[in-house]
Structure 1
Amino acid sequence: MAAPALIALAHGSRDPRSAATVTALVEEVRAQRPDLRVAEAFLELASPSFHDVVKKLVREGHEEIVVVPLLLTEAYHAKVDVPSVVAEAAERHPSVKIRATAVLGHEARFLEIIDERLRAALGKARVRELDALVLAAAGSSDPLANASIARLARLWGAHHKLPVVAAYASATPPTTGEAVRAFRAQGRRHIAVASLFLAPGWLPDRAAELALEAGAIAVAEPLGAHPEIARTVLARYAVGAVELVPV
């Protein structure tokens, strides 16, 4: 029996850099598991759509599909949008088993990627001294999602023995600019900002802009198509594939 197909499902953005990053991540997943049928899809604002990809996989003869949401928080898209499109696809294709996994979330090992991206930004800016850090994320109207980001920020700060605050690009304060200004009001002048976004786009660009305007000395790039992210996608897929096995 063939292994289930894997759909890496991203939210989507009008920014072409976002879709390009998702494509590069899927290529990394394929490189790590060339035996799997792997495809990317988007909830909105980019193509291919989720339903088009499911239809294509069904035409190819796949009877089992595992959907891995490329989301970093268990917020609205994870709780509402993903279950909705998966349920609709299951209704359209009753002979096909479709299972959505947990989101990528905030794996502690993602902090290593954040550090890698931040070191690159600090090197580019020729910065050797830091006295505060800001962890920028999209933000959500869901307080539990924001709390998970704040916990990750505290873990990151404890690792570096530096004060850290989480900042958000939408939905909830503080913004990156507000976070940087608050640190500067404390007398801190070497403040760097890390990016807890999967891919480039309007929100990470805005977060970077506000941080630099407020006096941040460096802003890191998003996580991107890192091999560790691909390994996490495959770890989620493995759990989803097992859940498809009849008990």
Structure 2
Amino acid sequence: MSPALVAVAHGSRDPRSAATVAALVDEVRRQQPGLDVRLSFLDLSAPRLPDVLDGVAADGHRRAVVVPLLLGHAFHARVDVPGAVTQAASRLPGLDITTSPVLGGHRGLSTAALRRLAAAVAGPLHDPGLGVVLAAIGSSHAPANAAVADLVAGWTRRFGWHGGCAAFATTTTPTVSQAIADLRASGARRVAVAQWILAPGLLPDRIVRDATAAGAPVADALAADPGVVRAVLDRYDDTAAGSARRRAAS
């Protein structure tokens, strides 16, 4: 039996977030109909990760791969997910649980974000007059914020934009409004906002509101884009294969 794929998202009080993540997991399940794919959340939404892992074990699985539906390696990836998995492993000795890397860093997410951005600007991305703000939630973990800045810097070089800037909804700066103003002040003829965010919610609403108020088109969240689906399946496949190799070598 293949390991169960347990996707875990952060969770939100906004029902749009859970519905969007559920649609993503439904698409993963549709593409791999023989795979047991389950959705879970860390907080604020149900079902919670510990309960889902209990169900996986109760249904006879001996292995599970937890795939964090997270775009950066910040607090939830470094602390919350490993903590929940460690507690579940101690409670479920018959279930071998491994955790994949977060989705961030997989090229499918970049492809998804650029596809959303192209739809928002309604034109080619190779535009030397374009300034792009890549908006994320923001983290107290500086390397997670730096990864967003590195990503938009790479896009800027690739497409020859006037400029690119990371911006954040909370915790750190610049804000979306500040980033848009800075790009315009530097000479960008037009500015658009891409979202480095998986699903809509209260904080993403702030990004959309600020971009709209500044007159900048804003791309949709990544949601169930094919690139995101591919990232989930690749993270699962790579982690499951690595776990199998370790068991064979032991």
The two structures have a TM-score, normalised by structure 1, of 0.93
8 A Cα contact 2:194 2:219, kept in partner? yes
5 Å matches for 1:106-121?
106-121=105-120
Partner residue in 1 for 2:95 = 96
CA RMSD of aligned residues (A): 1.7
5 Å matches for 1:59-208?
59-123=58-122, 131-162=130-161, 163-208=163-208
8 A Cα contact 1:106 1:152, kept in partner? no
> Equivalent residue of 2:35, what SS?
coil
Q: Quickly say closer, same or farther: Cα 1:87–1:57, change in 2 above 3 A.
A: same
- Hey, what's the Cα distance between the residues in 2 that align with 1:129 and 1:105? 27
Q: Quickly say closer, same or farther: Cα 1:236–1:100, change in 2 above 3 A.
A: same
Partner residue in 2 for 1:13 = 12
- Tell which deviates more after alignment, 152-161 or 114-123: 114-123
Post-superposition Cα deviations, 1:17-70, rounded to whole Å, max 9, x if no partner, equal 111111111111112211110000000010111111111111111111100000
- Hey, what's the Cα distance between the residues in 1 that align with 2:195 and 2:91? 38
- Tell which deviates more after alignment, 18-27 or 65-74: 18-27
Percent identity between the aligned chains?
46
> Equivalent residue of 1:208, what SS?
helix
8 A Cα contact 1:135 1:165, kept in partner? yes
Task: Tell me the number of residue pairs that the alignment of Structure 1 and Structure 2 aligns.
Answer: 242
Structure 1 unaligned blocks of 5 or more: none
Partner residue in 1 for 2:223 = 224
Partner residue in 1 for 2:209 = 209
Q: CA deviation at 1:222?
A: 0.6
Q: CA deviation at 1:129?
A: 9.5
> Equivalent residue of 1:191, what SS?
strand
5 Å matches for 1:23-34?
23-34=22-33
8 A Cα contact 1:180 1:215, kept in partner? no
- Hey, what's the Cα distance between the residues in 2 that align with 1:107 and 1:8? 16
8 A Cα contact 2:169 2:203, kept in partner? yes
8 A Cα contact 2:66 2:98, kept in partner? yes
